Amino acid sequence: MSTSQRGDNKSPKPPKVVIINTQYVETDSGSFKHVVQKLTGKDSTVDVDDNDNGGRVPTRPPSNKSSALWSSGYLTRDISFKDFERLLGEMPPRDELWVD
């Protein structure tokens, strides 16, 4: 049987490329559905409870870039590699961090 009869001469399909944009989000249980639908692009109809914030995602107040990296005393996860490398470059050498 020749290859033309078996269908082996067809070019293979290229692999499917999926680009994933990771994003760190903090929310409460009342806003969870709204946040998921906002991130996935689905329309959201969230029941408003008197005790919640109306389905809105809490946001941090705007600040300058350097203080945003260390807001609230911890390193945020949503910084770029460029900002992270700049931050590492600003740190003192390991030998200067601990003094015996």
Q: Contact 57/31 with Cβ under 8 angstroms?
A: yes
Confidence class of residue 70 from pLDDT cuts 50, 70 and 90?
Answer: very low
Q: pLDDT tens-digit profile of 46-64?
A: 555 555 555 555 555 555 5
Diameter over CA atoms, the chain: 80
Nearest to 80 by CA among 91, 69, 89: 69
Q: For the chain, give every domain's residue range.
A: 25-59, 63-100
CA distance 35 to 37: 5
Q: pLDDT tens-digit profile of 14-43?
A: 999 988 888 888 888 888 888 888 888 876
